[in-house]
Structure 1
Amino acid sequence: MIKKLTVVGLMAAVGLGCQSPGQIFNKNEKQEAGEASGKTSYNKFINSTTKSDEGLFTTHFADNKLFFEVPVDLLEKDILWVSRIAKVPSGYGGGYVNAGSKVNEQVVRWSKRGNFIDVKVVSFKNESEVDSPIYNSVLANNFSPILYSAEIKNYTPDSTSVVIGVSSLFENEVNAINGLSSSLRKRYKVKKLDKSRSYIESAQSYPENVEVKHVMTYEAEEPPERGQAGTITMLMNQSMVLLPHDKMQPRLADDRVGWFSVEKYNYNSDELKSDEYELIRKWRLVPKDIEAYKQGELVEPVDPIIYYLDPATPEKWRPYFKQGIEDWNVAFEEAGFKNAIIAKDPPTPEEDPEFSPEDVRYSVVRYVASTTRNAIGPSVIDPRTGEIIESDIIWYHNHLRSYRNRFMIEAGAQNPAARTLNTPEAEIGEMMRMVIAHEVGHALGLPHNMKASAAYPTDSLRSASFTQKYGLTPSIMDYARVNYVAQPGDDGVRFIRMMGPYDLYAINWGYRYLPEAQNPEDEKTTLDSWIMEKAGDPVYEFGNGYGAVDPQAQRESLGADQVKASEYGLANLKKVVPNLVEWTSREGSGYDELDEVYSELINMWRGYINHVVTNVGGVYETRKTSDQEGVVYKAVPREKQKSAINFINTHAFNTPQWLLNDEILDRIASSGAVEKVQNLQARALNYLLDEERLNRMFENEQRTSEDVYSTVELMGDLRQGIFKELYNSEEVDVYRRNLQRAYVDAAVDYVEELKADGEEEIASTDIVALMRGELQNLKTDLNQRKNRTGDTISRYHWQDLIARIEAGLNPQA
């Protein structure tokens, strides 16, 4: 195998070669830099009044200016530059930008150009072999941008380092490293950086990294909060980390197993195109005893993954956070490692005076004092190989509230522990533990696997023995937070998600050390064999859930049958609603908590509906390579789609009287119930009649000889369900009138889009013809039956619909 080098890697080899410091700096250059007599001049420049810190780059503070002493042997070396916000004003970024948020990650090279040092941003995406004719073209088309340039101020007496001033890099606005995005600049109407209030706070150097903190102050007309005096001030942390010379052996990605990845292009491929491939993002784990590892023994890694807890983490939650981190050791044991991941309390200043959560030497679970309800698991990588260098898990304090509410809503009917705003510590602690485990999974390289939940039979989630052994889904990387399928009387069932068999399988696939493999290609046969061993077993399938096409890969859904699961979920919600006033009441408090929980319950009802809607026009995806039998895409069977429409007509489009609880509504709002239901039903209808969904159904009708659920049948079933009062000569309530108007308006909108500029795509499909035909059918039925309903408002309503249809079909009339 010919070794492939990235373009920038080749540039380093060509640019620096094997030159010594004396060869790099000649006498004239030293004189231009002001070094008249070597050591004397340097000591004049860097003297006893200078505050210096030795490390990767020795840093010097002299006369309130920051200087870097850059060693010659680090020129042209790969240095990872990570920019983070260390401190942030209240409300910044809508609460989703916090202390610890990463704003950029790039690899730079410090390069000498005459009497200047340039900081170049380098890319590793495009590859070429050095002796290939195309090499020069790849170089020419991947020219490195210069982030910063500084004149050489001095040389060390032995010529092993250059001294440059870098104050302007951190005190001026450099887009590549600042914390103010263009969208936030526009949002807050930022006018300019105020240099008088922007300064370098500290610079610390360590053997393999340099950490600079600097304050940036902006004048803003509309800062995040009014009390911020027209100012946005943030503390930035810049980490510069020397990437390892001994690179980790990469592992080729395979989309049948879910991994975050790094994209690459090889221009020396034998294919008649550039060879596009991906490397998985993973930590470097190498067994201490390779021979014992080969024999199947569990072996500790040379360098385990270590996570520290943020010093701000409340003491009572620390055990759950640590458990969530170390839960992954079960998966790493599947890959042959023991004690591969370790959770530690934050070190005291006496134990480690240099500890800082912003320092990329430390991976930290950050605890953020914010009203934001979320948690995330980002990581920092070496883009050359996909090696994860560091990661910070971020837990926002108010995420506790999310799980408290969800537990009450989805488990309150079945579990007495959920019937309170003060969720017992055992339950909320277990939820926190599993959230941290989920986010650590991301930081280990695993993306969401929304398809996992569809592997388990829906009714199995009502079984205590099944759920206690297998959890709610085969993967903790699915969104399956609370067991809403379980019913009252299903004693002993597990309510909170947990790690599952897919997680063990994925970690083994990505992390098992293969000592005989000399390169990524050598690993492929073994990795493929592991996939084929599990092929056809839904427990080990992967689907990210993007596109909302595959009903088996959806956020928050549980079980293989989405219709049945949503029926169970709705049955529980109907039992919860009458109890919400009692469960959310606190002596001396108002009804804000009731309003919040009730609103979230409505959103969960909408989620259950959407899980079912996705079956209509849905397509199952089973990821395969060309050497596997069977197809990748298959339309959802007709009966499943028809069952979904029956559910929607019954549970979404019938007025949800159970939800319109007067005991709740009379406590939280003077009005608005009609609008709430109208919005929910209209959204469900619009989602169902989505253009992409209808076009998939049209295409499926043409591509298969099987009995399919057609668009004509869909519209007919909807018409019979939505307008059942018309066909049964019944009175129409206000909620149903709103829904029926929404139906007519949706159909008319498609017809009217035919005339709109830029809507040629819709006009070229059968959707307009379908909607015209449906409106004509409905108009005929309305004319024949409009006077059969006894109440006046219903008759007026039918007449109004006829007028709307006529206006839509004949806009010029």
Structure 2
Amino acid sequence: MIKKLSVIGLVAVLSLGCQSQGQVAQTPQPSPPKKSNGDLKAYKDVITPAAKSDEGLFTTHFVGDKLYFEIPTNIFEKDMLLVSRIAKVPSGFGGGYVNAGSKVNEQVVRWTRRGNNVDMKIISFENQSDEGSPIYQSVTANNFFPILYSTKVVALNPDSNAVVVEVNSLYENDIEAINGISSSLKKRYKVKKLDQSRSYIESAHSFPKNIEVKHLMTYEAEEPPERGQAGTISLLMNQSMVLLPDDKMQPRLADDRVGWFTIKKYNYDSEELKADDYEIIRRWRLEPKDVEAYKRGELVEPVKPIVYYLDPATPEKWRPYFKQGIEDWNVAFEAAGFKNAIIAKDPPTKEEDPDFSPEDVRYSVVRYVASTTRNAVGPSVTDPRTGEIIGSSIIWYHNHLRSYRNRYMIEAGAQNPSARTLNTPEAEIGEMMRMVIAHEIGHALGLPHNMKASAAYPTDSLRSAEFTQKYGLTPSIMDYARVNYVAQPEDKNVRYIRMMGPYDLYSINWGYRYLPGANTPLAEKPTLDKWILEKAGDPVYEFGGGYDGVDPQSQRESLGDDQVKASEYGLANLKKVVPNLVAWTSKDGYNYDDLGEVYGELTNLWRGYITHVITNVGGVYETQKTADQDGAVYEAVPRQKQKEAVQFLNNHAFSTPNWLLDQDLLTRIEATGAIERVQSLQTRSLNSLLDEKRLKRMVSNEQVSGNKAYTAVEMMDDLRKGIFSELYAGRKADAYRRNLQRSYIDAATGYVQKLKETESDGILKSDIIALMRGEMERLKRDINQRGNYVNDVLTRYHWKDLVARIDSGLRVEL
């Protein structure tokens, strides 16, 4: 939701934004008087007949190994976006998440002339003020633009309307703002310096709106990513300088109730006794060819559609699925009044477009990266003045196929026979790839993750063929909901793979619908607010990023509105999968590496189901609202739901997972390690449940909700009775349970030990230490009373050891 803004101040900045987008910090200065040509060389002596020249936005000249820019004087003071990408990268660089096509920086620059010097300045549009406002002078003085690069004018062109500068030092020096190795990677690889003898400019091309330069950078490194790299790291960088439009797109104000990537601004003309901050959304410029037909409600093609090319490296058999994933978004754009708004194309041949390059920011490309990385990403390039997206490179890593192959077997193998193989049928793996591409395209259109979407659907609806085939697994493709793990073996014809949903259509309409009658961002706001209020209260149209770990309805990878029930369904399926993994993953003549890999991922998914449940304990539902909407934004999870969550944890997380300890499987993949694996999983879950912030929320909620709250004392009581059930039943505790019980005492007494820490003032003054002391004293008393009833020597020793641990943990000298 937009923060409270001074209407007068914001109108001044934003209406100016449609003309000059708050030319904040520095008014373009007139060029100083030129020095006499006697100070410069003759053009023909610099740009000799041997020059290899390329005309465009400004002409590039190669003369030997020197690169010259011939910059027209009318380009000075123009805003240009400098986009730095890696064009080629050594194997293993960056741990697998840096690859050919990775963007390392984008920044607005202006070329300016200073006598016989030409400077490239970095420009910011974050702080804004109307040029006619007195405070504009202060904004200018306190937002001085740094000079990224400076060089000498060596000649004027024959018409004296352009200057010639040599720019080798821009591309052959280690300039942090455009290089491909971050400071953290330099430390990791112990980079010494850039070796200029092995760094050079490879090519330069000029086009009507952009300049593309490729340059090779070679660094001396003591520990390069792979040993065979001879103590060096070489990267081929691509630098795109794109002229930003004088005719700026009208910005659209962001609203927290609808998820968008945004750009933050500060308005210093505010009358609110502070600098008001607001945000604008990132989106492509879509304007109807026929405005009158658009007004009548007809579907109209945009003046400039969004076009994505496939990488020439994309395997032929996957291209149809990639193109479908791109063009799936046309359904959403139709909801916004546009037809054929997004187009997928095969890569052009050399004959069709000899200048085509995936690194050229003019082309939006779905890159296919030969890498063992298991991921896909959807970055874009944005004009920071207005939020206009001007280009994008979707990245699909080849080994992401492996992720979905494994995931499909683990989460759908119990229910779907076609998932019981590592050679997933092409139609199904292709459908998964299609939806991954659609998800990443969504990011490139401006949409962030909406982890709250999946909670809009009743959990049991995901077992319905009719429901899932019509509505999918979640209202938004931007949720993390990859495979339907809720469906059970008896559920027939359900959909297992995510797809686009109603929230996607709603958000695209909200962000992209053209509003011809609204000539300023503030004029658009009443219509945009009206659309949100029309959907208020319907969970299908709610947004939540899911990154704070507080709202159980807004979690990555979860499905349905009831996390306890969904995790029970998912766990029931895992229990059916484990006994079959040997048969499903084995291949005659090969070892059990695939079995070990899938089994490891299965245990991680089990941990994920547990995490979904833990979040309910001390959880808080968040529903974004503005001041004109009734009801609270934050509401504690009901007491009974939290209590059910702890019961689930006692039954399924903290009990010994015998189903996971299949000896026929384990003896094929490891000599030992099962106990340590389970201990690690259970300890992490226990520590998460006893997290300080969670306990503080529970204490706080008790003060607000009184006897309606699930209190921290009640939770600890339920947890103790579950984790120490052997003590209260007089039974033997196995090795897994003994480990868990020790972890419980370590976690509880660890809080008491924080009394020694002077920097832990926040917890020292909370109720948590008192709570843990009380629980440990209660447990010690129960062990002393009941510990000798069990008919197992090692268990009795264990109880005595726990008493000693409690005594030690509670002994703190201040």
TM-score by length of 2: 0.97
After superposition, the CA RMSD in angstroms is 1.2
Q: Give unmatched runs, 5+ long, in structure 1.
A: 17-23, 35-40
Q: Is residue 2:40 matched to residue 1:33?
A: yes
DSSP 3-state at the match of 2:755:
coil
CA distance in 2 between partners of 1:686 and 1:290 (Å): 58
1:557 maps to a residue whose letter is S
Contact 2:24–2:128 (CA under 8 A) maintained in structure 1:
no
CA distance in 1 between partners of 2:612 and 2:433 (Å): 25
Q: CA deviation at 1:12?
A: 6.2
DSSP 3-state at the match of 2:604:
helix
Counterpart of 1:53 in structure 2 is 54
Q: CA deviation at 1:480?
A: 0.3
Q: Is residue 2:403 matched to residue 1:391?
A: no
DSSP 3-state at the match of 1:408:
helix
Q: Is residue 2:10 matched to residue 1:9?
A: no
1:680 maps to a residue whose letter is L
Counterpart of 1:335 in structure 2 is 336
1:550-573, CA deviations, whole angstroms, 9 ceiling, x for partnerless residues? 000000000000000000000000
CA distance in 2 between partners of 1:308 and 1:697 (Å): 51
CA distance in 2 between partners of 1:154 and 1:692 (Å): 65
Q: CA deviation at 1:490?
A: 0.6
DSSP 3-state at the match of 2:588:
coil
CA distance in 2 between partners of 1:803 and 1:186 (Å): 45
Counterpart of 2:305 in structure 1 is 304
Contact 2:23–2:131 (CA under 8 A) maintained in structure 1:
no
Q: 1:487 to 1:11 in 2, by over 3 A?
A: closer
Q: CA deviation at 1:704?
A: 2.3
Q: 1:217 to 1:741 in 2, by over 3 A?
A: same
Counterpart of 1:434 in structure 2 is 435
Q: CA deviation at 1:7?
A: 8.9
CA distance in 2 between partners of 1:706 and 1:81 (Å): 59
2:556 maps to a residue whose letter is R
Q: 1:27 to 1:238 in 2, by over 3 A?
A: closer
1:668-697, CA deviations, whole angstroms, 9 ceiling, x for partnerless residues? 000000000000000000000001000000
**For residues 322-471 of structure 1, what are the structure 2 equivalents within 5 Å?**
322-471=323-472
2:625 maps to a residue whose letter is K
CA distance in 2 between partners of 1:27 and 1:406 (Å): 67
Q: CA deviation at 1:706?
A: 5.1
CA distance in 1 between partners of 2:397 and 2:94 (Å): 14
Q: CA deviation at 1:14?
A: 4.2
Q: CA deviation at 1:646?
A: 0.3
DSSP 3-state at the match of 2:215:
strand
DSSP 3-state at the match of 1:746:
helix
Contact 2:25–2:127 (CA under 8 A) maintained in structure 1:
no
Counterpart of 1:760 in structure 2 is 761
1:401-459, CA deviations, whole angstroms, 9 ceiling, x for partnerless residues? 00000000000000000000000001000000000000000000000000000000000
1:88-133, CA deviations, whole angstroms, 9 ceiling, x for partnerless residues? 0000000000000000000000011121001000000010011111
Q: CA deviation at 1:9?
A: 2.5
DSSP 3-state at the match of 2:751:
helix
CA distance in 2 between partners of 1:800 and 1:794 (Å): 10
Q: CA deviation at 1:57?
A: 1.7
CA distance in 2 between partners of 1:350 and 1:303 (Å): 24
Q: CA deviation at 1:760?
A: 1.5
DSSP 3-state at the match of 1:214:
strand
1:219 maps to a residue whose letter is E
- Count of residues paired in the alignment: 800
Q: Is residue 2:528 matched to residue 1:514?
A: no
Q: 1:295 to 1:138 in 2, by over 3 A?
A: same
Contact 2:367–2:395 (CA under 8 A) maintained in structure 1:
yes
Contact 1:57–1:205 (CA under 8 A) maintained in structure 2:
yes
Counterpart of 2:321 in structure 1 is 320
DSSP 3-state at the match of 1:799:
helix
Q: Is residue 2:101 matched to residue 1:89?
A: no
Instruction: Answer 1 or 2: higher relative contact order, Cα 8 Å, separation at least 6.
Output: 2
1:282 maps to a residue whose letter is R
Counterpart of 2:72 in structure 1 is 71
CA distance in 2 between partners of 1:388 and 1:783 (Å): 68
Q: 1:521 to 1:262 in 2, by over 3 A?
A: same
Contact 1:116–1:152 (CA under 8 A) maintained in structure 2:
yes
Q: Give unmatched runs, 5+ long, in structure 2.
A: 1-10
DSSP 3-state at the match of 2:118:
strand
Matched residues, percent identical?
71
Counterpart of 1:103 in structure 2 is 104
1:500 maps to a residue whose letter is G
CA distance in 2 between partners of 1:30 and 1:644 (Å): 81
CA distance in 2 between partners of 1:60 and 1:25 (Å): 26
Counterpart of 1:474 in structure 2 is 475
Contact 2:24–2:131 (CA under 8 A) maintained in structure 1:
yes
Counterpart of 1:583 in structure 2 is 584
Q: Which consecutive segments of 4 or more residues in structure 1 shift more than 4 A?
A: 5-8, 10-14, 24-27
2:236 maps to a residue whose letter is L
Q: CA deviation at 1:28?
A: 2.7
DSSP 3-state at the match of 1:391:
strand
Contact 1:29–1:115 (CA under 8 A) maintained in structure 2:
no
Q: CA deviation at 1:705?
A: 3.4
Q: CA deviation at 1:8?
A: 7.7
Counterpart of 1:669 in structure 2 is 670
CA distance in 2 between partners of 1:10 and 1:397 (Å): 44
Q: Is residue 2:531 matched to residue 1:530?
A: yes
Counterpart of 2:170 in structure 1 is 169
Q: CA deviation at 1:4?
A: 3.5
CA distance in 2 between partners of 1:27 and 1:276 (Å): 42
CA distance in 2 between partners of 1:741 and 1:436 (Å): 46
Q: CA deviation at 1:25?
A: 6.7
Counterpart of 1:242 in structure 2 is 243
Counterpart of 2:4 in structure 1 is none
